[in-house]
Amino acid sequence: MSKVTADLASRASLLARLALFALPLCFGPVIAHAQAKPQPTNEQKQTALAPAKDGRAAEASGPSTQGTTISALPGMETSAPTAILIDAETGTVLLEKNADQLTPPASLTKLMTMAVVFEQLKAGKLRLDDEFTVSQNAWRKRGASSGGSTMFLPLNGRASVRSLIQGTAIQSGNDATIVLAEGLAGSEDGFARMMNEHAKAIGITKSTFRNPHGLPDPEQRVTMRDLATLASHIVRDYPGEYKVFSEPQFTFNGITQQNRNPVLGLVEGVDGMKTGHTAESGYGLVASAIRNGQRLILALNGLRSANERRDEARKLLEWGFRGFEQATLVPAGQTVSQVRVVSGAVSSVPLVPLSDAKVLKPKGTGQGYGTKVVADERVQAPVRKGDRLGTLQITANGSVIREVPLVASADVDLGAWWQRAWESVTDRVRKLI
């Protein structure tokens, strides 16, 4: 008998003795943990779509957009000095031009003003029926006599938060933003601190806010990528409040003013956002539109006229809807892997995506994407349905472009004592061999 054969025989004999010891210890035969399917590796790549011949996928644009840049349709350009067009759900960047360049925001600043107000409403710290007084600062500095955008608030008058939101989102009233700022923070400077704190909390990385209305300040600068992140945040986290941006007009103090958004009612699916203009910034726009469940968000700035702003916005939004479509790589709830459960009533638990794993691709192509499961090899019982146990990474050309949480699809209770004892014995045997 060779040395190798003798060694194997010795290990087999040891295993047999351990099994004989374990059976009486556990008072019976092995109890099956669960009829689980064979457990795949927890770092598994799956090809979802064949690569397109002319398509290309770049690295993720940043933590806020969390998407690859795809512009496989040739010939699309914009006259806007700075611009970005994204798919809101996946964060995929369809087009960008100097999207990280800092630029004066003008009234696009009011989107952050609205986000702070909406957050206060959501947190229960503010009510739509609350009223604030129109200070002399708000009336004289940014009211009717200032020559800028105004809600025509009367000096020492009172206005509800609901009206001030409409006056800001629809009429772009500078006076309305000051009244909100003073009512919530005591001053414009105090409110600017709230704006910057909120910006940081939602992943805005480069922009700085110094006032609630957007009139020139040398330290107030934004990027189009940050504004797209801000717009996505408003649409996603304040869906009820967001509807104010789609109102076609608003009447206050006997004066009716139309919504200033030039593509509202012009481009199919547009339901908000905000315009901006000063001599310093040029003409800017953030617009959001939805068709057949797909939402695009556009941010651009620095255009030479209101007409050019309108035409560029219409062109880019139409191009985005016409040229791209969503594809679901893995639907929510579909098992993609299994994780071993230590000391559990069953031996493993399936992992499923918390939401659909979607990407955007040029229509008629198979833009190349894959998925990769990243999870621990084992977890300790008990496990509850919905517990996050891993991540499904969506990849393009080797780069991670989006992540979807993986959660347990079922409860796994702590196993009986004899199950845990048998598991301990079999683990030790497994280590020996």
Positions marked catalytic: 107, 110, 172
Which of 355, 337, 273, 318 has its CA nearest to residue 108?
273
Which of 255, 244, 278, 218 has its CA nearest to residue 114?
244
Angle made by CA atoms 232, 404, 358, in degrees to the nearest 5: 70
Question: Residue 286's CB: how many other CB atoms inside 10 A?
Answer: 28
Which of 360, 359, 366, 322 has its CA nearest to residue 54?
366
CA 394 – CA 402 distance, rounded (Å): 5
- Residues 205 and 102 sit within 8 Å (Cβ to Cβ): no
Which of 18, 98, 15, 34 has its CA nearest to residue 340?
34
CA 141 – CA 154 distance, rounded (Å): 13
Question: Residue 388's CB: how many other CB atoms inside 10 A?
Answer: 12
- Residues 336 and 288 sit within 8 Å (Cβ to Cβ): no
Looking only at the bridges linking them, the beta strands covering 337-342 and 378-380 are parallel
Q: How is the beta sheet containing 82-87 ordered, strand by strand?
A: 93-97, 82-87, 294-303, 282-291, 270-278
- Residues 313 and 320 sit within 8 Å (Cβ to Cβ): no
Instruction: Classify the phi-psi angles of 156: left when phi > 0, otherwise alpha if psi is within -120 to 50, otherwise beta.
Output: left
- Residues 392 and 330 sit within 8 Å (Cβ to Cβ): yes
Which residue intervals of 203-283 are DSSP H helices?
224-237, 239-242
